[in-house]
Structures are given as structure tokens and as C-alpha cells.
Amino acid sequence: MKEFTYIITDKEGIHARPAGELVKLAKVYASTVSVFKDGKKADAKKVFGLMGLGVKQGMEITVQVEGDDEAAAAQALETFLKENL
């Protein structure tokens, strides 16, 4: 399992457009991708789950990736977050 934390810098937080793009990216990989915030967990392959976390600017999330392609998936997701959120 790979895990990393990220602090959201986008002034809108995790909103519809980047959430949709994040879901598309997560679905490319076979690994299970989960996003945690304040004890709540969301499947990163489901846009409503991500939106339901209510992540705003300045909040920290934890991303866990588990599966056969976890290293590549974690790297791609971390890069996406840094570039988009």
C-alpha cells in the first residue's frame, strides 16, 4: 500500500471539474484508491464520494492506493493533485 498526504491549495477546494478529472485518472489504474479527510473515507473512483468529503482550501487529505499498480497510481495521483488542486 502507498499513502501520501496533500494540502489542497485551490481556492475552491475539491470542486466538480477537478473531482471529475481525478476520478478519470483513478479509474485508469486497477488499484483501489481511497481519499480520507477528518475520519471520512471516499472512493476516488466515484465523483460524488469525493465531493461529499467537502474538502476546502487549506485542508489536508490522505490518499491511499492499494493494488498491483499502486506505485504508478500513487505517483500519477500525487502529480495531478499538485498540478490541479
Helices (H), 1-85: 16-27, 47-52, 70-84
From the candidates 4, 15, 43, 56, give the one annotated as an active-site residue.
Answer: 15
Check residue 30 and report its DSSP letter: S
Dihedral of the CA atoms 42, 44, 47, 51 (nearest 10)?
A: 50
Has 58 been annotated as catalytic? no
Catalytic residue positions? 15
